[in-house]
Amino acid sequence: MAKIDARLRENVHLLGELLGDTVREELGTAFFDKIERIRKGAKAARRGSAEGAQQLAETLDSLDESELLPMTRAFNQFLNLANIAEQYHAVRRRQEGEPAPCESGVLPELLERLQHAGHAPEALARQVSELEIELVLTAHPTEVSRRTLIQKYDAIAAQLAARDHTDLTTAEQAGIQLRLQRLIAEIWYTEEIRRNRPTPVEEAKWGFAAIEHSLWQALPNVLRQTDAALRASTGRPLPLDAAPIRFASWMGGDRDGNPNVTAPVSREVLLLARAMAADLYLRDVEALITALSMQTASDELLSQSGDTSEPYRVLLKRLRERLQATRDWASTALEHDQAAPPAVLQDVAELRAPLELCYRSLHACGMGVIADGALLDCLRRVSAFGLHLVRLDIRQDAARHAAALAEITEYLGLGRYDQWDETQRLDFLQQELDNRRPLLSVHFRPSPDTAEVLATCAVIAAAPAASLGSYVISMAHGASDVLAVQLLLKESGLQRAMRVVPLFETLEDLDNAAPAIDRLLSLPGYRSRLQGPQEVMIGYSDSAKDAGTTAAAWAQYRAQESLVEVCRAHGVELLLFHGRGGTVGRGGGPAHAAILSQPPGSVSGRFRTTEQGEMIRFKFGLPDIAEQNLNLYLAAVLEATLLPPPMPEPGWRELMDRLAADGVAAYRSVVRDHPQFVAYFRQATPELELGRLPLGSRPAKRREGGVESLRAIPWIFAWTQTRLMLPAWLGWEAALDGALARGEGEQLAQMRARWPFFSTRIDMLEMVLAKTDADIAERYDERLVEPQLLALGTDLRDRLSQVVAAVKRLTGQSELLAHSPQTQEAFSLRNTYLDPLHLMQIELLARSRQQQNPPESPLEQALLVSVAGIAAGLRNTG
């Protein structure tokens, strides 16, 4: 088996040793020795040693209640430190002759392939400059680490980078080690778990911090690399105003089932974003004022600066004053609503114009090398981030709009809108959208829920168009859902077009997505209100929770194909918005492979997707990591546009239909139809306890009830904790076994070899199966589940064995991930620390369920730390 890179192993060992020194310093050698006995026992037990398993069990059993919390914290923090070392290793300083990471060369290699495929250089350059990729930071982060700890983790990564030089003196090495020791001590003496749930505004600030500390630096670097690749391949630069990658956010805008996101919250987040953007540009402009001290300038610039020895500084100081005015107004308006004074920047052109003027002048005067430095980076940021940093999406459930309109129509004496059929709704909505008079009188007194819907629409109407993204309708079913939002926005004073986006989430709604959009685009008057593409959101999380990943993945694929055809028939451009999560059960997985597995024609230069929770930190938390991931996004969208995957053969479709039918039947026979399932789920997993973990501002449930009431995130998270990972694979065991029993193994192999959609599904399935552990899941059952429910747990583990065997047969491997021994060993390393956490969590769950403990008690804190530690070890929550 291949070994983990020696430098990664060295860093993991160093950080672990420093953590051990910190623990020993506070809690003594005897306690540290127990940690070591547990670690070594877990390692030996994983190798099949009965003696090691006994040592592990005896040492854990010997812990008294006061030792549970520090022991859990120790293993949790080691896994966090291992994550930091792994993340840094991906972007470490390369030695002379060592190959660069593949991400850095993915675009140049692709451009070469595209030219060989017959794409003209000019067309290629134009296509790259016209790409529209928008990454949407979602409003329900499952990030379990506190922001203060994340900052310390980033500081550790910086020290590992400082250490990664061969010419350090002994004193320099000692200084780095001391700083690492100090950071690890700061982490150890800081509580891991928030005491309170974050507010939506705090979530938004967390998203802004990811931009400030990472993406603000990473994005211009990526565009600089893109420009260099284009020049080398096509001889053409990336235009100054090109913004192939932008960012949006749901943080502070996603009110679907979250009563904490209100109209005032959305207004506050919009102003905070405006203030943050102005502040970040101020830092850039201050640096430019310092740098651009030269006297020579073009006549164009001198005509604006006047007769001065420092014309660039004169121009930039005026811009600085306007940025200061913008920041100060936005900050003040948070507390006191007031009109913006004349100095406040209102249009991005006002920010861009003086910067472009300086850029043109420097080039005209032979100082292009200066222009193409920090000034060019600032101009790239202006194109990508604008005046508002991120565009805020608004999301609300379709039922809330229907309820608001029902209240309105009842007040008007027209009956109840929510009791009308689709035709009646559309007739009413079209008539009112075309009517110039207001729908409501000043005497209408809405209920609190309707007042909130209308207040949100009023915030949208008052906000600058550039500050907003799309209005997403959760649980959309038909064309009326879109028109309902348009009418509510019109009634609230919106006089411009806004993208109103139906989100199709269940299996039934995905199957009905294309007919719904066809009807929408056929409505008289709708096209005149549609400016730009027709955006449609595909829900991965809830469709998988509804039907299992086998059927959901195929329904998502078919829905996209049908939507492409419908929009093509109507002559309308389509923008698909992918509501992907971080885990396989929520549509997650490597973004590059996922994009290339989309149906041909569904990307077409545009791609919009959610980035959620801890994946924001893992993919974009460090500038160098962010650069790698942004490069992958850019290359994948370009490749999917110009070299789309092949159309699936008819036989593949028929087999996929059978797989989906078998998969959904098997999945629902357990999750929906088994009478003991809900009881088993709540006993075998920490689902009920997760409600106490302050993960995000949204409640864990939409409403009271069984599994159907749970959000997709805690549904996945609970099964992840026990290592059964049920939502990611349940249904595949019946689907693959059925196909193999019918003699369709050869056709499955063809699909895997030649159809990116199917091969990506199998690769993601294999990855998640490698993280499962039936023995660990059985330990949860033995300690926590009532005897009459144990048979169900046995059945589920048998199904897990079935799907593992089927995947190994399909891939021709003797063990999962045999093709990736480094990944296997990384999992093995983590299991040494995960196994004790699982065993401690099982005991903590048992004790917590036997007696009520206050949330601040050591036992409850230890339980929550174990949840965070397992999530960190698996790098998955929801």
pLDDT for the residue 775: 94
* Model confidence, pTM: 0.92
CA distance 434 to 648: 43
- Report the phi/psi class of residue 415: left, alpha or beta, with left for phi > 0 and alpha for psi in -120 to 50: left
CA distance 165 to 444: 70
CA distance 835 to 718: 17
Structure tokens belonging to residue 593: 């492979």
**With helix as H, strand as E and coil as C, how does 734-793 read?**
HHHHHHHHCCCHHHHHHHHHHCHHHHHHHHHHHHHHHHCCHHHHHHHHHHHCCHHHHHHH
CA distance 550 to 556: 10
pLDDT digits (tens, 9 = 90+) for 290-312: 999 999 999 999 999 999 999 99
| CA distances to 466, 583, 734 from 544, in Å | 34, 11, 16
Query: How high is the mean pLDDT of the chain?
Result: 90
Q: Which residues contact 431 (CB under 8 A, 6 or more apart)?
A: none
Q: Other C-beta atoms within 10 Å of 720: how many?
A: 26
SS3 label, residue 96: coil
| Residue 487, phi then psi, degrees to nearest 5 | -70, -45
Structure tokens belonging to residue 486: 């348009």
pLDDT for the residue 860: 86
CA distance 863 to 870: 11
| CA distances to 98, 167, 195, 640, 820 from 620, in Å | 24, 30, 26, 22, 24
Lowest average pLDDT, out of 66-80, 253-267, 681-695, goes to 681-695
pLDDT for the residue 206: 86
619 part of the active site: no
Cα 20 → chain centroid? 33
Catalytic residue among 545, 578, 619, 771: 545
SS3 label, residue 248: strand
Look-up of token digits 């789309």: 644
101-120 average pLDDT score = 88
Exposed e or buried b for every residue in 605-632, given b needs 16+ CB within 10 A?
Answer: bbbbbbbbbbbbbbbbbbbbbbbbbbbb
Specify whether the CB–CB gap between 831 and 39 falls below 8 A: no
Q: Where are the domains of the chain?
A: 1-100+147-190+821-878, 391-595
pLDDT for the residue 699: 56
* Residue among 353, 351, 376 nearest 363 (CA): 376
> What's the half-sphere exposure (Cβ side, CA atoms, 13 Å) at 472?
32
pLDDT at 142 over 90: no
The residue length of the chain stands at 878
| CA distances to 550, 667, 676, 677, 715 from 728, in Å | 9, 11, 20, 17, 11
pLDDT for the residue 690: 80
Please report, to the nearest 10 degrees, the dihedral formed by the alpha carbons of residues 252, 690, 609, 461 taken in order.
-20
pLDDT for the residue 823: 82
SS3 label, residue 803: helix
pLDDT for the residue 164: 85
pLDDT for the residue 708: 61
- Rg of the chain's alpha carbons, rounded to an integer? 28
pLDDT digits (tens, 9 = 90+) for 486-539: 999 999 999 999 999 999 999 999 999 999 999 999 998 999 899 889 999 998
**With helix as H, strand as E and coil as C, how does 661-677 read?**
HHHHHHHHHHHCCCCCH
545 part of the active site: yes
Lowest average pLDDT, out of 133-137, 318-322, 622-626, goes to 622-626
Catalytic residue among 43, 89, 140, 578: 140
CA distance 235 to 524: 46
* Residue among 479, 485, 504 nearest 424 (CA): 479
pLDDT at 757 over 50: yes
Q: How confident is the model at residue 709 (pLDDT cuts 50, 70, 90)?
A: low
Q: How confident is the model at residue 799 (pLDDT cuts 50, 70, 90)?
A: very high
